[in-house]
Structure 1
C-alpha cells in the first residue's frame, strides 16, 4: 500500500512521488503507474492541475484506491478541457477533499464502475464545452456521493443511468443550467437513497426540474430541501418509491409546475408520499400523463400526512386512471384540496378522507380543523413550543441588531425551522420585511437582523418608547408539529434621538 504525493508547484515527475519532499508534478505521471489496492494518491492543497485524471485500476472492498489531498490551505483544483476525473471499469475507488472547476466535460464521469464513493468534493462550473453536467455514472453499481457541493453545471448536476445501488447523501446542488438540465436525474436505476440534500434551481437559467426519477425501483427520497425549477420531484413510472419528509417549494415556471409528479414513462405502483411540506408553487402532487401517452397503470399510490400551503392550484391532481388514497393531509385555506377527474371519482378507485383545511399551517395541530368528513377538534400538541421574543434597542450605531428566534423554543426531536414570519413564508434565502421603524431579515434557522430607520421614529406625541411586533411560526423540520409566537422590538426614544 503506497501513498503517492503530487504537487503542481514544487513537484517533479522525475521524483519518486512517495513522500512530500519528492512529490510528482502531474496527474499524467500518476496515470503511468499501475496503482494497487490500498494505494493513495494525494494532491497538495493549493495545487492546480490543468489536465484530466484517468483512473484505470481498481482497489478491493477492504483496500480501495483513494484519491485525496494533503497539506494546508485551499483544496487542490483540477481543471480540464475534458472531464476532471474519468474512469471506465475501475472498482473500489474513493475520491475526496478535492475541487474540480471549469471542466469542459463532466467533473467526474464513470462508466461500468462499481463501489465508488465521492465525498467532500466541490464542483464549480462543469460541462462548459457541452451539456454533460457535473457528476455522471452509467451502467454501474454501488455509487455514493456525499457531503459534496455542485454549482453552476452546464447540464445536470448529477446524472445517473442504469445504476444498481445509488446513494446521494447530504450534498448541495445549485443552479444546473440548460434547457434539459435538472439538479439530479436518475434513470432506470434501483436501490436508491436520496437523503439530506439541498437541491436548488432557483437561479438556474431554465425552469427545468430539481429531481427526476425515471423508472426507479426501490427508492427512498427523504429529508431533502428542494426549491426552484419548473417542478420539484418528477418520479415517473417505477415501483416501491417512498417520498417523505421533504421540504419542496418555489416550483414555478409553467402552469403545470408541480411539487411531486408521477404517472408518465411507464407503469407506476406502490408509491408512498408522506410527511412533506409542499408550498410556494403551482400544483402539489399530480398523477397525470400527456393525452397521447400509452395506457400505463398507476396503482397503490398513497398521499398522506403532508402539509400544503401557498399553492396557486390544487394540492392533489388526478386526471388519469389511478388507484390510491389522499388522506390526513393539512391544507392551508386558499389552496384547493383536490382536482380529480369525474370518471375517476365515479370509479371510486382513489379515495379522499380525513384531510384538514386550516387558516394557517403553523397552528394546524393546535386549532379546530375542518376535515372532508366532519368538523373535528385537534388537541394541542406540545411537541413544538414557541416562546415570545423581545429585542430592546436603547442605543443605535447604524448596525443591525441581531438575535435568534429559536434559541428559547423547543421541539421533541431537537430540530426547529422558522417557516413563516409576519404572515409570509421564509424561503431558502430568508425573508426581508419592512416594519414600522426598521427593516428585519430572518432565515430558516431563526437568525434575525433588525436595522433601525431613525427617519421613521416619531418626534412628538410619544412617551419615550415605541414598539412594533412581528408574528412568526415554527415547526420541527418535517412539518409534523408546529407552533407560533411573536417578536416585539422595543425602542427607547429618548436615548435614540438625543
Structure 2
C-alpha cells in the first residue's frame, strides 16, 4: 500500500539546520542597487545615479541581504549572472523598482535571460524575461545550475513573466526526440545539476506564481546527471554520469503555462517534490516529437495535485499526465485533464524485471474530459503495485477510442488495481476498446456507462451515473458531480490510505462512492 511521505520532512530538516547554526559576526547593512538601462551614463547604483548596463550590473559583488533592482518600463539587454549567495534570513534579491511597464531582461543572444549558478538563498522575482532565438541553440528564461557546488538551498523564482524563449526544438521531420532535453535543455525555467566531483542538487527550491508562455522547448524542466541508481532505466546510462543525488523538497505551484513548444512541466531526478495548482494549456505546439503535459521520471515521492493540463497537440505521447520510468511512490490526485490529443494518462515503464519499472504509484480523484486517442496508455514494461481509483472520465466522441491500451502482450507485468472509476461513454460507445491482455491488471467496482465491460471485470455497474450536467464540451468539475439517486453513491470498494477526501474536499464514506465525487 502506498503511503504518502509527509512533504514537510524535507523542509523541516533545512529549517532545523538553520535554527541550530551558531550566530555569525554582525554583517554590514544590506545595499540596494538600481539599474536603469535607459540612463545616458553609468552611475554608482544609487536611485539617483543608477547603473545603466548589464555588464556593469554583473560586475557588482553582492552580499547577503543585497538587492539588484531593474527599472520598470525599461529593457536591459544581456544575461543577468546571479552568482552570489545570500543567507537564510537575508537572501540576495533580483527584482524591479519604479512604476509603469515591466522591467524586462532580453538575453540578446545569450543562453538565458537570468543565469543563476552555484548560489544559495537567492530570490528572482517580478521581472519580464525573454530569450529570442531561431530554435537551433539553447535558450532559457531562467537557467538555474548547480555544478560541482554541493547542495544549494533557498532559491525562489516567483512572479516572473517569461516568454519568447526560442530554444532548441526537434525538427518536425527527421529530428531526434532528445534535442533540447536532458542536460542543456531549453525552456522557460530550466533547473539542472551537473558535474563529476561534488554531488550537487537544489534543496527546497520554490517556483511559484510565474506566467510562462510562448517558450521552446519545455515550460518548467528539471534535470540532473547525478542520477545513477539501481532503479534507473538502461538507456539513461549514457546520460547519467554520477551517482544518485536528487533535487529534494521542490515546490512548484500556482504557475500558468501556455503555448509551450514541447513538454509542459517535467520533474526528473527528484525526491519529495510537490507540484500543485499549476495551469497548463497548449503543449507540444512546435516540437513535433514525443511530449506530455506534466510528468516525472527517475524520481521518488512526487505529488501532483490540483493541476489542470489541457490541449496537448500530439498523439506521440501527448497525454495530460505521465508516470514515467524508474519511479517510486508517485501520486497524481485532484487534477483536471481535458481536450488532449494523446489522452489522459501515460504510464511508461520499461521491461518487467529490469530497471525502469514504475512502482507504488497512485492515480486518484482526477477528472478527464474529452481526452482523445486513449484514456490510459501503458508502454512496454512493468508496473508494480499501481493503483488507479476513483477517477471520473468523460470519454470523447471519437470512434475506436482506447480506454486502456498496453504496448506489450506479456502477462503478469501490469500489477495494477483499477477500482471505483466512473467512465461515461461518448457518442460512439460501441467502438471504445480495452486493448489489455494482462490478467494482473485488475478491474473491479467501476461504473462503465455506455462503455464495453471487459470479461475479467468484477462488480461492474452499468447504469446511467446521473451526473449534474455531463458533456464532452465542458470541463467544469461541478458538471460531473453525482446527483441524488446515482447508482455510483456508496457503490465503491473501500481502499486503505485513500487520502480521506474527494476532489471537492468532502470526506469519504466507507464504502466510498464511485468516481471523483463522494456525493451530495
Cα distance, 1:310 vs structure 2: 2.0
Structure 2: gaps of 5 or more residues: 1-29, 134-138, 147-151, 170-179, 181-185, 194-200, 225-246, 313-317, 452-456, 483-501, 505-514
What residue is the counterpart of 1:17 in the other structure?
45
* Among candidates 263, 276, 294, match of residue 195 of structure 1: 276
Which residue of 393, 397, 405 corresponds with 1:317? Answer: 405
Is 1:211–2:240 an aligned residue pair?
A: no
Q: Select the structure that is richer in strand.
A: 1
Provide the rounded CA distance (Å) in 1 between the counterparts of 2:481 and 2:142: 39
Structure 1 position 284 matched with structure 2 position 365 = no
- The correspondence for 2:214, drawn from 130, 148, 152, is 152
Matches within 5 A, 1:92-107: 92-104=121-133, 105-107=139-141
**Offset at 1:322?**
1.7
1:251-400 matches, within 5 Å, as 251-252=340-341, 257-264=343-350, 266-280=356-370, 281-289=372-380, 297-311=382-396, 312=398, 313-318=401-406, 319=408, 321-334=413-426, 339=434, 341-342=436-437, 344-345=438-439, 349-358=440-449, 372-373=458-459, 375=461
Residue 55 of structure 2 aligns to a residue in which SS? helix
Quote the residue 1:389 is aligned against.
none
Relative distance call for 1:206 and 1:250 in structure 2 (3 A) is farther
Q: Do the aligned residues in 1 keep the contact of 2:162 with 2:212 (CA within 8 Å)?
A: yes
**Aligned match for 1:69, one of 96, 111, 126:** 96
Mark the CA change 1:269 to 1:338 in structure 2 (over 3 Å): closer, same or farther: farther
The one of the two structures with greater contact order (alpha-carbon pairs below 8 A, sep at least 6) is 2
Residues 258/333 of structure 1: CA separation in 2 closer, same or farther (3 Å cut): closer
Q: By how many angstroms is 1:228 displaced? A: 2.0
CA distance in structure 2 between the partners assigned to 1:167 and 1:157 by the alignment? 15
Which residue is equivalent to 1:480? 516
Whether the 8 Å contact between 1:259 and 1:278 is mirrored in structure 2 is no
User: What is the root-mean-square deviation of aligned Cα atoms in Å?
Assistant: 3.1
Q: What is residue 403 of structure 1 aligned with on the other side?
A: none
1:249 matched to 2:338? The reply is: yes
SS of aligned partner of 1:85: strand
Structure 1 segments unaligned to the other structure (5+ residues): 290-295, 361-370, 387-418, 428-443, 447-471, 485-498
| Shift in CA distance, 223/52, structure 1 to aligned 2, threshold 3 Å | same
Q: 1:171 aligns with which of 255, 264, 280?
A: 255
Aligned mate of 2:328, from 223, 226, 239: 239
Shift in Å, 1:10: 3.4
Give the distance between the partners of 1:72 and 1:277, measured in 2 at CA: 42
CA distance in 2, matches of 1:155, 1:341: 34
- In the alignment, which residue of structure 2 is the partner of 1:367? none
Return the TM-score normalized by structure 2. 0.66
Q: What CA deviation, in whole Å up to 9, does each residue of 1:192-243 have, x standing for no partner?
A: 2111011122581346321231112110011100012222122212000001
Query: Structure 1 305/482 Cα, relative in aligned 2: closer, same or farther at 3 Å?
Result: closer
Q: Following the alignment from structure 1 to structure 2, what is the Cα–Cα distance between the partners of residues 337 and 263? A: 24
TM-score by length of 1: 0.68
| C-alpha spacing 1:231/1:278, structure 2 compared with 1 (3 Å) | same
**Secondary structure at 1:134 match in 2:** strand
Match of 1:392 in 2: none
Cα deviation code 1:82-107 (max 9, x no counterpart): 11011221111100000002444211
Larger Rg: 1
User: 2:112 matched to 1:29?
Assistant: no
Pair 1:425-2:473 in alignment: yes
Deviations 1:121-167 (A, max 9, x none): 00111135775222111113132211001111121111211333322
Q: Count residues in correspondence.
A: 377
Native 8 Å contact 1:248 1:259 kept in 2: no
